Amino acid sequence: VAALRSLLPEEQIFYIGDTARVPYGGKSRETVERYSLEIGAVLAAGGAKLIVVACNTASALALPALSRTFDQPVCGVIQPGAEAAVAATRTGKIGILGTRATVASGAYEKAIRQLNPEVAIFSNPGPLLVPLIEEGLLDDPVTGEVITRYVEPLLGKGIDTLVLGCTHYPLLRKAIARVVGPDITLVDSASNCARFVKDILSSQGNAAAPSDCGGLRVALTDHVDHFLGVARQALDLPVDQIEVRQLQDL
Amino acid sequence: VAALRSLLPEEQIFYIGDTARVPYGGKSRETVERYSLEIGAVLAAGGAKLIVVACNTASALALPALSRTFDQPVCGVIQPGAEAAVAATRTGKIGILGTRATVASGAYEKAIRQLNPEVAIFSNPGPLLVPLIEEGLLDDPVTGEVITRYVEPLLGKGIDTLVLGCTHYPLLRKAIARVVGPDITLVDSASNCARFVKDILSSQGNAAAPSDCGGLRVALTDHVDHFLGVARQALDLPVDQIEVRQLQDL
């Protein structure tokens, strides 16, 4: 959302966060598909001209089901992240840090191999990072220790590029950079994904006029969200009113 | 479940774990009530003669709604834990470690004050403990460091009894004992809750015959459950087949 607001300030964004059922990172494909289709239906009913799946787990597991179901273009974050990684690597060795579900899906491997079959890809799940981020421990020795455990096996493979394969992880960019050092390029999909969205809207003649006044509307499926305060502060993203939408009400 | 199986081996237990929507510990009362009523309906439809809410967060937030809704007796884990704590304390200073939602609810304070209004109660949420336990880091320096942060403010108040106010936490009993030392009594509600259940069944003439062959049937709302392996091993609880029940199907 922060990258989209920055690149496309004239667009109206309706963001829905499934706070009643997060985290998705340890759930099965069936469940992530079901939840993603429910969320997609809320966005489609709200008149979305394009749907962004701003979650790596949902992108990795539910993109085909979403694309089949909705008439709108559906844009995930795996493909933009894969392109950024392939563009960044010099040694051809890319590491992927993601949720258990994203890593198990092999979605990054598939996307990267389609771009460049020569690249070697090494993946490791980082299941404690989302809880640590949600607690706001962005700059904490415990978080540093956990990051070290997750990235050391990847560093041992000689990677020169590390994909932050979960939309939470860029909040740990500084902490991860401290652990991996300056020679590893950290890649996330936010700005690449925003460029994808811009291109799709332009090519379909669907972009808002530059003079339009964009905005951000936020809905959550549960009104308790400790993380919202962390995200607001870390992303410097102004969010005014929050709606609560119980999905079964739809 | 382990405590019930041990005390009441002749009873048939139907356990349902809402793995598609866990953890509950950071959710609102409304959402926890809604999910608990859905789970309760599955158990009632399965012919339960008594419903055990084997989760502190759901006990703290949803017990009144569950008791109003179902004809069966509903037994939570807060009351048994409160009784065990009041029985254990010598100094009259009790600490509560629980999820954010359990601590915010004040359910332990209320239950303990009704038993003994003189007791002083100090609470602290431990939001990272469930993720650490689910990762199986039961005996790990990172877990020890996180426990230290959560219990130090309570130790500073001079507590002599610490309630493990989340059904996950007993898996950290050894690690917590190492941090708090031998002078603090650790209390959890499992065995007390099992005794409650036994008493209710006896007083209602609903207990299984001692010669009956009890059993355990397990259903989960999502089939991926990394934690199940951790729990099986830590609790030495044999679980054979696992059913998957999507709640919307009911």
Q: Tokens in use for B47?
A: 């012919």
pLDDT band for position A225 (cuts 50, 70, 90): low
Cis peptide leading into B23, omega within 30 of 0?
yes
* Residue B225 pLDDT: 64
Neighbours of B70 (CB within 10 A): 17
Instruction: Give the pLDDT confidence of B94-113 residue by residue, as tens digits.
Output: 999 999 999 999 999 999 99
Query: Is A75 an active-site residue?
Result: no
* Residue B248 pLDDT: 61
Q: Look at residue A224 and tell me whether its pLDDT is greater than 80.
A: no
Alpha-carbon gap: B73 to the closest alpha carbon of chain A (Å): 28
Give the CA distances from residue B220 to residues A47, B14, B41, B151, in Å, rounded to whole numbers and listed in that order.
35, 11, 14, 32
* Residue B230 pLDDT: 75
Best of B24, B30, B247 to mutate (most A CBs within 10 Å, chain A)? B30
Geometric angle at alpha carbon A39, from A33 and A42, rounded to 5°:
145
DSSP three-state, residue A185: strand
pLDDT band for position A223 (cuts 50, 70, 90): confident
Best of B19, B31, B250 to mutate (most A CBs within 10 Å, chain A)? B31
Return d(Cα A197, Cα A193) in angstroms, integer. 6
Give the CA distances from residue B109 to residues A1, B27, B92, in Å, rounded to whole numbers and listed in that order.
41, 20, 13
Q: Are A85 and A107 in contact (CB under 8 A)?
A: no
Instruction: Give the pLDDT confidence of A119-140 residue by residue, as tens digits.
Output: 999 999 999 999 999 999 999 9
Cis peptide leading into A9, omega within 30 of 0?
no
Identify the segments of chain B with pLDDT beneath 50: 249-250
* Residue B13 pLDDT: 95
Q: Look at residue A250 and tell me whether its pLDDT is greater than 70.
A: no
pLDDT band for position A24 (cuts 50, 70, 90): very high
Chain A neighbors of B128, CB-CB under 8 A: 128, 131-132, 135
- Regarding an ipTM greater than 0.95, the answer is no
A237/B166: higher pLDDT? B166
* Residue B249 pLDDT: 42
B222–A131 CB contact, under 8 Å: no
Report the pLDDT averaged over residues A19-31. 93
* Residue B141 pLDDT: 97
* Residue A249 pLDDT: 42
Tell me which H or E stretch contains A170: none
Q: Tokens in use for B105?
A: 């609810």
- Which of B21, B127, B128 minimises the CB distance to A21? B21
| Catalytic residue IDs of B | 55, 166
CA closest to B130 among chain A residues = A131
Q: Look at residue A248 and tell me whether its pLDDT is greater than 70.
A: no
* Residue B250 pLDDT: 37
